Amino acid sequence: MNQKEIFVAQFDSIPAQFPIQGEARAAIHNGIDFPTTRDEKWKYTRVNSILESSFQSVESTLENVDSFKLDATWSYLVFVNGKFNQTISDDMPDGVSMTSLAACNGDVKKEMLSKLGSLIDFKKEAFPSLNTGYFEDGAFIKVRKNTKIEQNICILSITDGQGQAVNARNLIHVESGAEVKFVHQFEGLDNENSFTNSVCEIFVDENAHADYYLIESEGANTKAITNTNISQKRDSNFTIVTITKSGQLVRNNINMAITEPGCESNMMGIYFTDGNQHVDNQTYADHQDHGCNSNELYKGVMADRSTGVFNGKIMVHQAAQQTNAFQSNQNILLSDKATINTKPELEIYADDVKCSHGCTIGQLDEEAMFYLQSRGLGKEAAHRLLVQAFAQDVIDTIKIDSLRQSVEQFIESKFE
């Protein structure tokens, strides 16, 4: 057996529940290879450390997850090591239905299967294929037409135990005219060398408004790959904000298919790295139809020997006239040894569009540091103020107050 076979074989004891899982398993066993740095999209991110690891399924004894809750008033769907834990999960608010993938039956199952895997190419890409073939559970969430959901919903995905691999799979359908905010939070504990491989498919129907906050608090030695694939219909509004707090190797892939006119799409992100951390954000804004706006802003602060990657692509198809698409990636390096590789890309086939992209890499402004210090602020406090100021415009796009505050506190704690 080659390395891929050995790696994939570790998952083969997981029973397949749906036909699509068989298809994905066949694809990964028979054809797809895992990416190497020779693949343009993976040029700066090596996955060998994942493929060389051995994983196991750990039985978690976790009974109380309150300490992970950023705001106890949200409605939580708790997944521990990839399995839904109903006992410590909350009921969904009116207008939201949720069925765990493993428990889907009858019409719900039919509906789920008609959507599952439709936004992601699980027969071509190795990690989505691995996820599709071997996920054990996940949430299928539906938000009812024309309902405004005031209650925030949090998918809390916890990895507990050493060498634990989790293929987290979620499916979200926001029906037309509905309005909702999701937090998808990844937490790791006692998880030396664990691995998160997540796929989340999000369907945003006509005129719907959805916010999705991806909060990554992975364990210090965790490798995490997340895939978030979105499909937006006419006049819908979707915002994704990715906050990477921790994790040894984190790779986020966001694919935003903007399929019909009048859509508004926002992709925002903050990554703060230190030690030997590696954080890679890949985004794809796919403008398929006319009159849509997409806006993208990623900011990174890198310390120590950490490395960052940003690769953002805006694709404007011929039919996508009157597109406004903006993208910006800004980075501050706090150390001589920190690295960022940033690559903005535009591919435009329409002739009446407004697009821009840009990236900056710099250091903290020494003049500003001296100014703040000369007023009595210590070095750490001055650092903190400048970094907060740098990140503020991304933070301000978070529309849940308590979440925004927790991100601000996180930045503060980085400089204590």
Partner 1 sequence: MSDFFSIKNLRASIEGNQILKGINLEVKPGEVHAIMGPNGSGKSTLSSVLAGREDYEVEADEVTFLGKDLLELAPEERAREGLFLAFQYPVEIPGVSNINFLKAAINAKRKHAGLDDITAKDFMAMVKEKQAMVELKSNLANRSVNEGFSGGEKKRNEIFQMAMLEPKLGILDETDSGLDIDALKIVSNGVNKLRGADRSFIVITHYQRLLDYIVPDFVHVLFEGRIVKSGGKELALELEEKGYDWIKEEVAIHN
Among 189, 346, 361, 381, binds partner 1 (CB under 8 A): 381
Assess contact for 45 and 121: CB atoms under 8 A: no
Q: What is the distance between the alpha carbons of residues 210 and 183, in angstroms, rounded to a whole number?
A: 11
Of residues 287 and 384, the one with the C-beta less far from partner 1: 384
* 298 lies in the binding site for partner 1 (CB under 8 A): no
213: left (phi over 0), alpha (psi -120 to 50) or beta: beta
Query: Is the distance from CB of 269 to CB of 243 less than 8 angstroms?
Result: yes
Question: Does 386 sit near partner 1 (CB under 8 A)?
Answer: yes
Smallest distance, partner 1 to C-beta of residue 332, A: 12
Which residues on adjacent β-strands are paired with residue 307?
278, 339
Told to check if 364 binds partner 1 by CB under 8 A, we report no
CB of 214 to partner 1, least distance (A): 24
Cβ atoms of residues 285 and 265 within 8 Å:
yes
Among 388, 402, 405, 406, binds partner 1 (CB under 8 A): 388
Cβ proximity to partner 1: between 113 and 381 the closer is 381
Report the DSSP pairing between strands 138-143 and 96-100.
Answer: antiparallel
Q: Strand 153-160 vs strand 75-80: parallel, antiparallel, or unpaired?
A: parallel
CA 28/CA 4 separation, integer angstroms: 9
Strand partners, 272: 301
Q: Does 416 bind partner 1 (CB under 8 A)?
A: no
Residue placing its CB nearer to partner 1 in the complex, 103 or 368: 368
Nearer CB in complex with partner 1: 319/389:
389
Which helix (H) or strand (E) segment holds residue 84: the answer is strand 83-84
Query: Using the rule CB under 8 A, which residue among 268, 390, 398, 411 binds partner 1?
Result: 390
Query: Which one, 349 or 371, has the nearer CB to partner 1?
Result: 371
Contacts with partner 1 in 248-277 (CB under 8 A)? none
The half-sphere exposure of 87 on its side-chain side, counting CA atoms within 13 A, is 7
DSSP secondary structure letter of residue 145:
T
310, burial (CB in 10 Å: exposed 0-12, middle 13-18, buried 19+)? buried
Distance (Å) of CA 2 to CA 22, 25, 163, 391: 21, 16, 21, 44
349 near partner 1, rule: CB under 8 A: no
Q: Which is nearer to partner 1, 264 or 412 (CB)?
A: 412
Task: From 155-163, 221-229, 349-357, 364-372, give the range in contact with partner 1 by CB under 8 A.
Answer: 364-372
CB proximity list for 221: less than 8 A, separation 6 or greater? 191, 192, 193, 194, 248
Residue 113 and residue 83: Cα distance in Å, rounded? 19
Contact 245, 270 (CB under 8 A): no
The one among 368, 399, 409, 413 contacting partner 1 by CB under 8 A = 368
Choices 45-53, 60-68, 145-153, 380-388; region in contact with partner 1 by CB under 8 A: 380-388
**Nearest C-alpha neighbor of 106 from the set 153, 140, 61, 135:** 140
Q: Which is nearer to partner 1, 23 or 408 (CB)?
A: 408
CB of 376 to partner 1, least distance (A): 4
State in angstroms the smallest separation of the CB of 400 from partner 1.
21
- The binding track of 160-189 with respect to partner 1, each residue x by CB under 8 A or -, is ------------------------------
Residue 60 vs 388, nearer CB to partner 1: 388
Q: How far is the CB of 380 from partner 1 (least distance, A)?
A: 10
413 binds partner 1 (CB under 8 A): no
Number of residues counted as binding partner 1 (CB under 8 A): 22
In the 8-state DSSP scheme, what is residue 379? Answer: H
Q: How far is the CB of 71 from partner 1 (least distance, A)?
A: 24
Report residue 413 as tokens: 């704690």
| Interacting residues with partner 1 (CB under 8 A) | 365, 367-368, 370-379, 381-382, 385-386, 388-390, 392-393
